[in-house]
Amino acid sequence: MFGDYIEGNFGNSTSAAALDDFANGPAAIPEKTHGKRRKFRTVWISDVHLGTKGCNAELLIDFLDHVDSDTMYLVGDIIDGWRLKKKFYWPASHNDIVRRILKRAKRGTRIVYIPGNHDEMFRQFTGLNFGGVEIRRAAFHDTADGRRLMVLHGDEFDAIMLAHRWLAFVGDAAYHALMAANVWVNAVRQRLGLPYWSLSKLAKHKVKNAVEFISHYEEIVARAAGERGVDGVVCGHIHTAEHRLFSHDGKTVEYWNDGDWVEGCNALVEHADGRMEILHWPAEIARREAAEASRPTLVPQAA
Ligand SMILES: [Mn+2]
């Protein structure tokens, strides 16, 4: 079954039924159907990296079993196709996550999947719908209080980040040329069987000042959102959950990063009134367990 996911062989009419069968298959970790789930208007998660040992699958399963939303955005790098090609690693808990997401779609949650650079093999299905999961290259999200947010994975800015220093001297034309170059560089690398050239990964390992790198990235993404005339942007990619406000042409632009499920285990949520919040799931579990421990237990009285 998962060969189909990776190779993307969805072109036949039996695929919808196959997805249904898969969604209803036995779970290694049974879904918690009892208890009240926290309900949000919108949930954003990204950088899950299914297919790698780094993925915190159990924490994500706990998140999915305690949270519900009208809309859920999967903001890229959900499945690590590049790593899977090198070495196949797919424990049962990773199937459980895919099943839960498909089930959620069946129950009526609108699910929008925006593939990232590690799952870019799904980008060829942009505009299609698999088992209720819409695949998009990017999306616009309107919050309950009327803000318009651009939602994208964020690898689109890697080339600009690398060239950041000398770009300061060359200016805007080079900025746009590099945006195009990034696509070509990675298309050629893909043809040669080389992995996606990931600037953020390079930076994490080689750049001394990671804080400065992240700050520049946030600025560049917010600037792109400002140029599009939207109120803000939601992205992932750099595995650093964050909320920052920038000014573009005298207008405030919100930058939101929904983090990752490798290191931080964060999700971004929108409440019913449009208020947004970054959740750190290990802290949410600790809070929940503390509340459960302090709750007085009701003991039925003997008649
Ligand atoms: Mn990425």
Which residue did the predictor score with more confidence, 89 or 201? 89
CA of 36 to the centre of ligand 1 (A): 33
Looking at residue 176, what is its pLDDT? Answer: 52
298 within some domain: no
* Nearest in space to 150 (alpha carbons), one of 99, 223, 65: 223
Tokens of 217: 């990235």
CA of 14 to the centre of ligand 1 (A): 31
**Mean pLDDT of all residues in 50-56:** 93
CA of 80 to the centre of ligand 1 (A): 9
226 within some domain: yes
47 within some domain: yes
CA of 236 to the centre of ligand 1 (A): 7
CA of 217 to the centre of ligand 1 (A): 13
288 within some domain: no
Instruction: Look at residue 165 and tell me whether its pLDDT is greater than 80.
Output: no
List phi, psi (to 5°) of 139. -150, 160
List phi, psi (to 5°) of 267. -135, 150
300 within some domain: no
299 within some domain: no
Which residue did the predictor score with more confidence, 97 or 9? 97
CATH number at residue 106: 3.60.21.10
- Could you tell me the strand order of the sheet in which 110-113 lies? 129-130, 133-135, 110-113, 67-74, 38-45, 266-270, 276-280
CA of 301 to the centre of ligand 1 (A): 56
Which residue did the predictor score with more confidence, 167 or 39? 39
CA of 114 to the centre of ligand 1 (A): 11
> Which domain range does residue 195 map to?
2-24+36-283
292 within some domain: no
260 within some domain: yes
**What's the whole-model pTM score?**
0.80
Count of the separate structural domains present in the chain: 1
Pairing, β 232-235 against β 110-113:
unpaired
